[in-house]
Structure 1
Amino acid sequence: MASACGDLIIAGDEECEDGNTTSGDGCGGTCRLEEGFKCPTVGAPCLTTVCGDGIVEGTEQCDDGNRDMGDGCSPLCGREPQCVDGVCTAICGDGVMLPGDTSEACDDGNSRSHDGCSSTCQLEEGFTCALIENDPPSTMSLPLVLRDFRGYDLPASDGLPRGHVDFENANGSETGIVQALLGVDGKPRYAKAGVSSSTTHGQVAFDQWYRDTPNVNLSVVKQLPLSRIDNTATYEYRSASFFPLDNDGWVAFGKEPRRTDGSGVPRNFSFTSETRTWFEYKGTEELTFLGDDDVWVFINRRLALDLGGVHGPMSGRINLASKAVELGLQVGRVYEVAVFQAERHTTGSNYRLTLDNFLARRSECVANCGNGVVDPGEACDDGVNDGSYNTCARGCVLGPRCGDSIVQTQYGEQCDDGNTRSNDGCSAFCRLELP
């Protein structure tokens, strides 16, 4: 019979069993899968999953075999909202509860049960669930797809063509590079075909900026962490040294040298970035961006901010209420905001994104520790949780006990071999056994 996490028996709300209660190894301290892992074999070490390999496993909600955004499955293998002009389809696990929809009682951004919000987005007993828009968290993370390029000053070598013509080449601020609407694939469309451009060199070259192209770019998926400002609904990421690929991309393969920034630090320049999020429009939202080089912000697939060209830090602000008609926004509907950026020339790289009131309805559930019931996420709960010997401690974690691999003579223990089995030299009560 299963008695606790670590006993090599999967039972109750457990999703894995690797024989210990150590977190950070793929199977957490309460035997729940940790993000980015799969644990197919009881008692064996967990394995990392590979988002983008087309196989749904571990904590992945989906895996469509690519690193694109806005196609229903994010590059982090999570479900994305599906919306057209603010009208969305309710999708359990996409982290967005639609206004007026009654099919979801909650949505915590995953499709796993026993965490307060079930795999069908219904409330589970033993938890308190709140809407994030009513109680915003201290941080939020957005998926970030980066594509690394080799600069145009690098010659063809090792089977690779000459560096990309749009990177480490021309300089100058230039608006009008992209069209006013995103393409059907959710990517910016080139607007300078047949027209003179001071910093770009044709549609074929531009179409590679935000699309995986063998031997031209290498894509890397990361997350963009935004911090909540004071006690507001404003979140911001800022960096005056935005070089997320210093140890990745072509540099990691020795196919591109680092270039010194304005402070003399070797950096990996020549890359693009793309991030997206969804929000329920209320008419109070503002977006501010400061950075270099090119930056384009699309809201509801329409161009809302154009800071194109190769330039130093430039800023722009979008007050959505003042652009509601132009962007096709209606209060109470859910829309996508997509930010496309490019770093095309030395020697600086700045990135500051500020989102004010860009929130959607989403659930965040917390187990009710102290109610005398061992709820998911709790190792124990005796209703007191005072941490005395062989009881539960504060936070619903196990207190000092026989079987914790620590000989506690003050409690009468003579041995402790990390289990509560007898006939192995140390009894179930941590007393020495005669041979």
Structure 2
Amino acid sequence: MAWAGRGGQRVAWVALLVGAVAPGCSNDTGQTPDTDATGSLVTEAETTGGSETGTGEPTTTLDTSTGAELQCGNGDVDPGEACDDGNLDNSDACLNSCVLAVCGDGFVQNGAEACDDGNSDNSDTCTVLCQEARCGDGFVQLGVEECDDGNEQDDDGCTTACVVDTVMLCGNGKVDDGEECDDGNTLDDDNCLPTCVPSSCGDGFKHAVFEECDDANLSVDDGCIECMAAYCGDGYVWADMEACDDGNLDNNDDCLVDCSQASCGDGFIHNSDEACDDGVNDGSYGGCAPGCASLGPRCGDGQIEPDIETCDDGNLVPLDGCDDKCQKELPAECLTYVPLAEPDRNAIFNDGPGKVTKCDKQLENKWYRLTGPAGTAMPTNPLKPFDCGTDAPGWMVGVHPIVDDGVVDRQVCFAWDTDCDWQTTIQVRNCGEYYVYRLADPPEECLRYCGLD
């Protein structure tokens, strides 16, 4: 039986040589060479039942061009041989078909190949590189591996154990499996973080619009509270910065508006236990006694403080003779009078009978002040008819009071045939710089109260 190399390569060139000998032709012994079914020469050993060439015996062929005998394995590279290492070992660099060993020839080359299954299928146990299939070689071994991307990275869809894993493509603008959001950017101050989860208070990233700060915690005693900058009045006590914070603007409770604790001397009256607090509390006039428990001397306490008060009527009501600063004041009638300023009311105005004739009516007992061209005070000497623009002019009997007299009663006479044909009672007060008169309605018509400079 003729020896055939892997893949029929040896048979092919032997057949080519044999094919050069026409059927029926004899060799140089005069005999016709025996051939097998493939056309290969059959040696004597084969026809006599000897051993195959795989036993180490050279394979003999005939070079029809020269008649020389060719032997693969004789150690000589004969024509048609790519190599001849003098042996028939298929695990070295030269196969027993005298062709060079290559990956994929079906023979494992010692020291160069881990395996050789003679095919180009990368999904079995031996790759086209003649290496044992393994996870990480870049080839998916059927029935063993789900994937094989040839690297040692676990976050690219295929793990280092060659198992398919979900790939998150955060930043591609599409919400993939495992993502809560994806805005197509890597900004950490918008609504979607670079990790493709929505922005939230406490995530450690300050939102450009909705947050003033984000310190990655939910503590309410530091400088960032609910992602807003802490401040006095927010209702949370900022450790080491505030003594208190009650969230209001009331300075009369336990916590002041500057977030300091209320105390005697802070200038604010604590509702529950202080009568006063002027910030000094030394018991001075108008101030507060030490300890904030009682008031110091002040206007309205009914006690006149020498060199400070000119009066103290026990109240702070003005227009009662003692004002709200405890200073003597003009009485109400000196401040709330009705002015009488007509030029023809002056006693020196007399245009005779039948001309200007004015009469006072319905004076209603109000307080009046003579002022301007009417004069400054009521005359105290008798007048004559038609003075001050009327028929019977009125003049006051007696003298004007001094300031300390207060309100006094006086008689007013109206002159006609005599110095006092009619009379009535009025009241007068000296206001210091002027007089005021409480005038009753005259007893008859065409009577008038007169003034004089």
TM-score of the superposed pair, with normalisation by structure 2: 0.16
Q: Which protein has the larger Cα radius of gyration, Structure 1 or Structure 2? A: 2
Structure with the larger strand share: 1
Structure with the larger helix share: 2
TM-score of the superposed pair, with normalisation by structure 1: 0.17
